Structure 1
Amino acid sequence: MPDSLSRRTLLRGLGVSLALPLFESMSATRLLAATSKAPETPLRMGFFYVPNGMHMPDWTPTKAGHGYEMPETLARLSKHRDKFNVLTGLTLDGAYAHGDGGGDHARSVAAFLTGAHPRKTNGADIQNGVSVDQFAAEQIGGATRFGSLELGLEESSQAGNCDSGYSCAYASNMSWRGPTSPVAKEIDPGALFDRLFAGQTVKETRRAKSVREKYRKSVLDFIQEDAKRLHQTLPEVDRRKLDEYLYAVRDVEKRIAGAERLGISEEGVPDYPRPSGVPRELANHSELMMDMITLAIQTDSSRILSFMFTNAGSNRSYPEIDVSEGHHELSHHGKSKHKQAQIAKINRFHVDQFGYLLKRLSSVSEGDGTLLDHCMLVYGSGISDGDRHNHDDLPILLAGGGAGQIKTGRHIRYENKTPLCNLYLWMMQQMGVKADKFGDSSAVLSELG
């Protein structure tokens, strides 16, 4: 293995750069012997938002600690139960009205990562707080190619009236670089792929993309010579790991290419490129994005990310799971058994997509564990019961081992009204971010380690 090989080494070709995963020969034990100093396996954090609250009876365990019985929605993650904690009692005070009237959906997203109470306006005078991902990226984002990634399945908006007088900027963005600067999310898997694996200049990127489209080449075709040379220098265990990684990249690329075509109908209509490049099926779209997240983490392209399944107050239907009514309308269930059952189906659908990511991260070995072992991933909503629009006792799940800092497999019940930002403060401190307070935090969240 060449002495200069490191996690920041890139395989290069025409307008293409491909970061490397962590090889066994980069492990702490080997490098300790060579340098007398072992590098730490990187720790990552991510935030995953679902809209319109949760059907809480199917989410909240009745027993605290280990060995709790998993309600029906959480049971979808039973294969990973020893890799996450369920946290109850956390509150998002900034999402409450505080005299501003309606708009709980927009506030729930705007406050979810900031802990701030957004100014009620649908004009240009938006005012929020800095989000936890951007606060952390400002300090430690320089360690990777991308300080943070902002992703989702529905486009961001920066203007318009989306919820009872609140700007669409609040309802469709949860990452905020500053009080007046929401960060739009990337929803196109192909565009994200290009960001991660394209060249270092716009000119090179456009040239490489043009060549790939003309000759239908894979990004891997451009770096194959570099990859072959590296393959010859690696020990057998790392050759297998490199082969697995390149296969994963090729597989995602093929699926993205497939998503850009409508296919051939039974009537024999030829396929043609889809203008958006985004899969029509939400599950396929989500899985591609989760695969891209896995590759981004595996290559240490970024250690901080946010992901919105849909925008606040989303009223999309879910025909793929036989839910024809709109999600937002169903969330105002008025205790209707039918509507609550439909809401629970949507909740389980979203949890399944998150479970797919946990499966992918668990399948990739890294250092002394897996990618998931070296992550802290928050999954949840800024609304508890969608009918009540309450922002206390939120549905929050923390997945990943935090590089050994988190004792998992538990239901941890906190005193109600405990600030959600206490969790964020704890997470940032594990990441090495200097912070004594964040948002409306009152202390560092306890009982996680």
Structure 2
Amino acid sequence: MNILNDTLKMVTPDQLDRRTCLKSLTLGAGAVVLQPFLNALAAEARGEAPPPRIIFMLESNGLYPRHIQPKGVDGDNRKAEKLVDLSLKDLELPDAISPLAPFKDRMGIIQKLSHKVSGGGDHGKGFGGLGCFHWRKGVAGQTIDHSLAAAQPSIIPVVGLGVAPNAGAVFVNSVSASAPKRPTPIVCQPDLAFTSLFGSVAEGNAGKAFNARNKLLDWCRSDIKRVRQELPAMDREKLDIYLDTFEQMRTRQEKVAANKDRLKANVPAIDKFNSTVTTDRFEAQCAIATAALASGLTNVVTIDAAGGVGQYHTWKELGVMKDGHAIGHMNGPDEFSVPIRKFHAQRVADLAKRLDVVPEGDGTMLDNTLIVWMSDSGEAHHGFCGEWPLVLVGNLGGRLKTAGRFLQYPAYQQHADQIPGHRTIANLYLALLHAVGDKREQFGEPDLNLKGADQSGPLAEILV
């Protein structure tokens, strides 16, 4: 007996209780994929607050402070003793991050936090960037993405996605770890990432077809159509958005099947999910990241846009023919580095836009998410990490006070006692942990060369 159908016979649509509807849905082959999504809808129907979600996006070659410094704001505060706290409302963003202008009231820029404990002068800080320990120690401890995931459990603690310079790279172990000597694989091929995340519907008796995407999506489709019909109207839009990635993949398969001879003879591959073009792969990974969050499979995504320590792209698709390593050694001339930075800013904006169209509670998924954009090597190609520039979008459901703010802390003082107001990346990570309920006062290893700076506790200025 189908409880939902019986309920529909007994009451009119306007009388249908949403919780009864969600509770009564039954799933077949698509259970593994759809169940987390439906669980999230049921929790919302019960009045439960949605979980806070976080995306870390790391790029290589340094995030130059000048590229995120609002116009007209002095970035040289080596002798400043107080925090600079300005509203972004009246400030103009630099051209390098101008794609984020539509989100200026929901983003924050943080300058001058140091992260020297992660190492200095190298091409990247690997696990040390998210882990707060020297990168040459390897996988020495848990990284912040996993610490945050532990405070808000989900089916997959951390989804790791990468954009490697080599389009053939399957995965890298580069920036994320669940524990010492336990790196999280960063999947670098969008097709594989999609199958790994959503292909589990074909397990069990259908295991032989796990990698046969046509059958995989066809099996999902019957459940998808039925579930959509039985959902209250208010939830159908959410399901449609969540399933957009499935439909993109299915449409591609249908086009390939119908035109395979012509495609083979004449047409280059342009689909972003299996393209070898760097910009396409980057865009596809962002689509998968938001689908993984919207589905309820995870609450934390880490995107390694570098594809490993010391890995550099040549951004020919952006009209930049000089390789990234050479650009870094030239201190990033703007003629080369600004188009690259702007493309990364577009990807952050794309993540935000995708999340902002998914209704959730009284707002959207973006309201309950934080996107953290930074480099895996701090402020430069050979970053010495006296500063580690950051751009944040979102506020974790009102748990943070970063939206619309520019914060510039007193600078790191080389070979001198630190100004008391100087803080570190560890302090930022502790603020994120406090925001999700983990009240620890230490994260990672302290910087033993810092004198006079408080390395314990969170950045109080950004906590509600």
- TM normalised by structure 2 equals 0.76
Could you tell me whether the CA contact under 8 Å between 1:10 and 1:19 is conserved in 2?
no
Q: Which amino acid aligns with 2:208?
A: R
Partner residue of 2:114?
91
Relative distance call for 1:70 and 1:180 in structure 2 (3 A) is same
Task: Look up the SS of the partner of 2:353 in the other structure.
Answer: helix
Deviation at 1:46, TM superposition (A): 2.0
Task: Look up the SS of the partner of 1:376 in the other structure.
Answer: strand
Partner residue of 1:43?
52
Relative distance call for 1:446 and 1:79 in structure 2 (3 A) is same
Partner residue of 2:384?
390
Q: Of 43, 57, 60, which residue of structure 1 is paired with 2:66? A: 57
Partner residue of 2:129?
112
Q: Distance in 2 between the 1:180 and 1:76 partners?
A: 38
Q: Which moved more, 1:293-302 or 1:345-354?
A: 345-354
Q: Of 125, 129, 143, which residue of structure 2 is paired with 1:131? A: 143
Partner residue of 1:268?
265
Partner residue of 1:420?
425
Deviation at 1:265, TM superposition (A): 8.3
Within 5 Å, which residues of 2 pair with 1:374-385?
Answer: 374-385=368-379
What do residues 326-381 of structure 1 show as CA deviations (whole Å, max 9, x unaligned)?
1011111158xxx3421222211222222211111112111111111111221111
Task: Look up the SS of the partner of 2:161 in the other structure.
Answer: strand
Q: Are 2:28 and 1:12 equivalent residues in the alignment?
A: yes
Partner residue of 1:35?
none
Could you tell me whether the CA contact under 8 Å between 2:359 and 2:365 is conserved in 1?
yes
Could you tell me whether the CA contact under 8 Å between 1:44 and 1:431 is conserved in 2?
no
Q: Are 2:146 and 1:150 equivalent residues in the alignment?
A: no
Could you tell me whether the CA contact under 8 Å between 2:22 and 2:38 is conserved in 1?
no
Q: Which amino acid aligns with 1:446?
A: A
Q: Of 349, 365, 376, which residue of structure 2 is paired with 1:371? A: 365
Task: Look up the SS of the partner of 2:54 in the other structure.
Answer: strand
Q: Distance in 2 between the 1:2 and 1:58 partners?
A: 48
Within 5 Å, which residues of 2 pair with 1:124-203?
Answer: 126=138, 128-141=140-153, 144-154=154-164, 173-199=174-200, 202-203=203-204
Q: Distance in 2 between the 1:128 and 1:322 partners?
A: 39
Within 5 Å, which residues of 2 pair with 1:207-218?
Answer: 207-209=208-210, 212=212, 216-217=214-215
Within 5 Å, which residues of 2 pair with 1:309-328?
Answer: 309-310=305-306, 311-328=308-325
- TM normalised by structure 1 equals 0.79
Structure 1 spans left out of the alignment, 5+ residues: 32-37, 121-125, 157-167
How many residues are aligned here?
407
What do residues 161-184 of structure 1 show as CA deviations (whole Å, max 9, x unaligned)?
xxxxxxx98xx5110222333222
Q: Distance in 2 between the 1:266 and 1:54 partners?
A: 40
Q: Are 2:337 and 1:343 equivalent residues in the alignment?
A: yes
Q: Distance in 2 between the 1:74 and 1:444 partners?
A: 27
Could you tell me whether the CA contact under 8 Å between 2:273 and 2:284 is conserved in 1?
no
Deviation at 1:270, TM superposition (A): 7.6
Q: Distance in 2 between the 1:436 and 1:278 partners?
A: 44
Q: Are 2:460 and 1:446 equivalent residues in the alignment?
A: yes
Structure 2 spans left out of the alignment, 5+ residues: 1-17, 74-84, 413-422, 447-454
Partner residue of 1:123?
none
Q: Are 2:327 and 1:295 equivalent residues in the alignment?
A: no
Q: Of 393, 399, 403, which residue of structure 2 is paired with 1:399? A: 393
Could you tell me whether the CA contact under 8 Å between 2:378 and 2:389 is conserved in 1?
yes
Give the structure with the higher percent helix.
2
Could you tell me whether the CA contact under 8 Å between 1:155 and 1:187 is conserved in 2?
no
Q: Distance in 2 between the 1:68 and 1:260 partners?
A: 52
Task: Look up the SS of the partner of 2:392 in the other structure.
Answer: strand
